[in-house]
Amino acid sequence: MARLMKPRRAGVARIVAATGHSWRGLQACWRNEAAFRLEVVLFAPLAMVACAVQASGVERALLLASLMLVLIVELLNSGIEAAIDRIGTEYHPLSGLAKDLGSAAVTLSLLLGAIVWGCILL
């Protein structure tokens, strides 16, 4: 039987390949998504504040996790948008809905971050 997929890597080779894929994804998002660039630029000083503020270890972890979550959700949203754009450029209600839902997820992650930071710092 003909093999339709290329052979999968295993062990360390798989980890190295996965790391390369992840790095390329981060680079692509940085190049193509202005919102991601802005969030990364805001992440750096806020991460320093999270590490410098008088807070317990759990509070510090929550501050940093809320920042990371925004980046993670933005990456997923960008992936959804890329997949929808790959399907076609004509408007379709389900394509619009998928993009709107991704955008809503980013908005909720930003709101969650603001709530976490407000609860801990205020």
User: Using an 8 Å Cβ cutoff, are 23 and 94 in contact?
Assistant: no
What the block records as the tokens of 58 is 């759990």
Q: Are 92 and 35 in contact (CB under 8 A)?
A: no
Calpha distance 16→21 (Å, rounded)? 9
Average pLDDT over residues 71-86: 97
Amino acid 50 reads A
Q: How confident is the model at residue 27 (pLDDT cuts 50, 70, 90)?
A: very high
For residues 84 and 98, the answer to whether their CB atoms sit within 8 Å is yes
Q: Which of 33, 39, 59, 74 is catalytic?
A: 74
Percent of the chain with pLDDT over 90: 86
pLDDT on residue 3: 60
Per-residue pLDDT tens for 47-70?
999 999 999 999 999 999 999 999
Q: Does residue 74 have an active-site annotation?
A: yes
Q: Which long-range contacts (CB under 8 A, 24 or more apart) does 57-60 make?
A: 59/120
Decide if 56 contacts 64 (C-beta within 8 A): no
- Backbone torsion region of residue 54, taken as left when φ is above 0, otherwise alpha when ψ lies between -120 and 50, otherwise beta: beta
